Amino acid sequence: MGTLILAVTSLFLYSVGTALQALHFRGRVHSNLAITTLVGALALISHGLLIAQTVHHDGGFDFGFFKSSVLISWLIVFLLLGLNLRKPVQNLFLGVYPLASLTIIMGLITHTPSRLVSDESYGMLSHIALSVTAYSLFTLAAIQAILLYFQNRQLKRNYNSLLVRNLPPLQTMESLLFEMVWAGVVMLVLAIVTGALFVKDLFAQDLAHKTVFSLLSLMVFVALLIGRYTKGWRGITASRWTLAGCALLMLAFYGSKFVLELVFNRGG
């Protein structure tokens, strides 16, 4: 199947999924887990086939700026579909599906230097896989933190908005956020450890900023978890710390790749 057909199919299915979630959010239709899962799964399959044609080629994987984004958005959708089977996270689809669509569009219309990693570089691929999983989990945590932030503010103002009526109880939202943060921290620690083991020079010029910002991000998330269990941090405080850690992590990954590939036009 052609790349363009797969891209259009993915965009169509993500649009359908977004529309269904928007209608449910506004109370126009009743949410159906089976339909939500089916539409998401079909979009995920199409998106995955697109990745197979654009990211995996020439005996390796191209982890360029936009192609990495296409891969990460696929994993975010995958994780969210899995979570949605047992957790009340369906509102996150309203942010995740448009994000996935945007990465697909940018991946098709832009051209950046390739950063190929060989199929046989198992150590490096394991490091990348763990890093991508960590980024995906923290992206979900960032969206959750934003929702939690606005939910807190509106509840404090006794404002019974559409957002408040659609979100789960505050305690459930906070619990979900910290579950995502915990999972992300585990993946990030493993990614840093495998990077130290398998990357020849973790503090090489091209990786120094990524390493430093990743470690700073990890410190922020660990501080958040400690604050949660020692000082009872929650609500807006937890949201702010989560977003700060996610911002540092995005700088670590996208900041370094943006400068290297889009500013200095350097591949790998």
pLDDT tens for each residue of 228-246 = 999 988 889 999 999 999 9
pTM reported for the whole predicted model: 0.88
> What is the average per-residue pLDDT within 8-26?
91
Question: What ranges do the domains of the chain cover?
Answer: 1-116, 121-267
Lowest mean pLDDT among 122-126, 182-186, 211-215, 235-239: 122-126
Residue 261 has pLDDT above 80, yes or no: no
Residue 140 has pLDDT above 90, yes or no: yes
What pLDDT does residue 268 have? 47
Q: What is the mean pLDDT of the chain?
A: 85
Residue with tokens 């090489």: 204
The residue that leads in pLDDT, 87 or 120, is 87
What pLDDT does residue 112 have? 67
Residue 265 has pLDDT above 70, yes or no: no
Closest by CA to 149, choosing from 182, 173, 185, is: 173
Distance CA 86, CA 130 (A): 23
Lowest mean pLDDT among 123-127, 155-159, 166-170: 155-159
